[in-house]
Amino acid sequence: MIEEQARVIAIEEGYAVVETQRKSTCQSCTVNKGCGTAVLSKVLGRSAVQFRAINHINAGVNEQVIIGIDEDWLLKSSFAAYFVPLLLMLVCAGIADMVGVRLWGSGVEGFTIMAAFAGLVAGFYWLRRYTATLRLRNECQPEILRSAVNEVHVEFKKNAGLPGPG
């Protein structure tokens, strides 16, 4: 279970709308000056993220809680989000190329590109339907695990006055 601290900002039937702070580990990385992720992190900042979580503990508004999501579902969702649209794009491009060569001979790149784009769009459409189905079945849904009243939240910042390792 992947856990994160959050604050309840609203209550809905059986759910709580929670808010977490977007975090980045770029300050602890040695290559952060030449990394695209570090640049994006600086541009996007540390904005708050809001979403619904299953409220098992009947947490109240402004209560600090620990939320969690199952690691297996996170891995499966990542796989679906990246692999399925890419696979459909490549399959449609391959089929279009084979059909185009049989029908018109050579010079079917435009047809292949359009089919690849159609496959990508179909993959994103499938992904939207898949996630909607999961949401309706409460699968892959974050849940409130416990109150964070007794939790100690320590955040370390890089201290410029101390020498680094090595």
Count the alpha carbons within 13 Å of 50 in the hemisphere toward its beta carbon: 7
Residue-wise pLDDT tens digits, 22-68: 665 555 566 656 666 666 666 666 677 888 888 889 888 988 999 98
Query: Alpha-carbon distance 6 to 58, whole Å?
Result: 14
What is the pTM assigned to this prediction?
A: 0.62
* Token digits of residue 130: 């898949």
Q: Terminal CA-to-CA distance of the chain, rounded, Å? A: 34
- The secondary element (H helix, E strand) that includes residue 51 is strand 48-54
So what's the pLDDT on residue 87? Answer: 96
Helices (H) and strands (E) in the chain, counts: 3, 5
So what's the pLDDT on residue 117? Answer: 97
Inter-CA distances, 138 with 2, 92, 157, Å: 17, 32, 37
Residue-wise pLDDT tens digits, 64-102: 999 988 888 888 888 889 999 999 999 999 999 999 888
So what's the pLDDT on residue 151? Answer: 65
Which residues are registered as beta bridge partners of 19? 7, 50
Mean pLDDT of the residues in the chain: 81
